[in-house]
Amino acid sequence: MMRKSFESWMDSQLARVECKLDELVCANVPAGLGEVMRYGVLDGGKRLRPLLVLAAAQALRADGEAALRAACAVELIHAYSLIHDDMPCMDNDVLRRGKPTVHVKYGEAQAMLAGDAMQALAFEVLTPDEDAGGGNPVAPPLQARLCSLLARASGVQGMAGGQAIDLASVGQPLDEASLQDMHRRKTGALLQASVQMGAACGGVGLDSVSWDALTEYGAALGLAFQVVDDILDVTQGSDVLGKTAGKDADQNKPTYVSVLGLDGARRRADALHQRARAALERSEVADRHWLVMLADRVVERQS
């Protein structure tokens, strides 16, 4: 019964996010750029990051416009990063979410600009103008907090820095500690920030113990996601993944599977899963069931 409820909750949240993204990413942009942006972000993807934002916000009984905007902002950052990662100067991939990558369909210049515009749009979404009644769906102090969390997770200490390490590590041996540091930045930081942004939306009076526990949950889940990604890259086909399978091995990139072996990587994913669930147990957050089930979904997924 809980599994069925979770699926229903997830479907309803995904519909909310898709509808809001459709509203925020306008087609009416100069020189067809809006069409490129919409192709890159709409109608595809797991939307794990927005789901984490909304689940954390709901766990703290906050589920308003601010949480929805935070969910969309983090997905815009994620989508922009995929557009840039797929380009020939980076990972040079031709398949994403089961369809041609943005640069394949629209050309490299439009793909680069679409990513740039989506990065900027994420912060516009978090800092909306006042409505006609003089109110603002995201209070100014919360705007600053959300922008700070997202910027730090996206920049040199987070996603961009991790991607730089990834590109510099092709063909280079990495030990597990170095591999973890890379993925803590490249993948984990944005997933962790998703949890933190949701918590910030409902964080009035949130104690430091609960904040630290949710942060630890996000960190463990972020690494677990990457470990499972590395496992699926060698155990599933492109038709299941929606992207080119075996790409990391072909490019001689270090992965959890290459460092720990397949069985070792599976054990590491399980350990991180348990660490994430244990962190939730330490928190004082009562309504954490969707966060628990999202952690389960991360390690059980097949694509």
Domain ranges of the chain: 2-300
Give the list of residues 6+ apart from residue 248 with CB closer than 8 angstroms, or none: 230, 233, 255, 258
**pLDDT of the residue at 289:** 94
Q: Are 28 and 34 in contact (CB under 8 A)?
A: yes
Q: Fill in the amino acid letter for 129.
A: D
**pLDDT of the residue at 132:** 60
List % helix, strand, coil for the chain (3-state, nearest 5).
Answer: 70, 0, 25
**pLDDT of the residue at 43:** 85
**pLDDT of the residue at 134:** 66
**Residues recorded for the chain:** 303
Query: Could you give the CA distance from residue 192 to residue 188 in angstroms, rounded to a whole number?
Result: 6
Q: What is the pTM of this model?
A: 0.95
Nearest to 96 by CA among 43, 144, 164: 43
Q: Are 148 and 160 in contact (CB under 8 A)?
A: no
**pLDDT of the residue at 247:** 76
Give the list of residues 6+ apart from residue 230 with CB closer than 8 angstroms, or none: 248, 255, 256, 257, 265
Predicted confidence (pLDDT) per residue in 178-204, tens digit: 999 999 999 999 999 999 999 999 876
**pLDDT of the residue at 190:** 98
**pLDDT of the residue at 40:** 97
Q: Are 193 and 54 in contact (CB under 8 A)?
A: no
**pLDDT of the residue at 133:** 66
| 227 to 108, 167, 257, 261, 262: CA distances (angstroms) | 30, 18, 8, 11, 10
**pLDDT of the residue at 205:** 64
- Three-state DSSP at 99 gives strand
The per-residue b/e assignment along 151-164, b for 16 or more CB within 10 angstroms, e otherwise, is bebbeeebbbbbbe
The pair of structure tokens assigned to 25 is 């990413």
**pLDDT of the residue at 243:** 77
**pLDDT of the residue at 111:** 98
Residues of the chain with pLDDT under 50: none
Give the list of residues 6+ apart from residue 171 with CB closer than 8 angstroms, or none: 252
The superfamily (CATH) of domain 2-300 is: Farnesyl Diphosphate Synthase (1.10.600.10)
Predicted confidence (pLDDT) per residue in 163-181, tens digit: 999 999 988 888 999 999 9
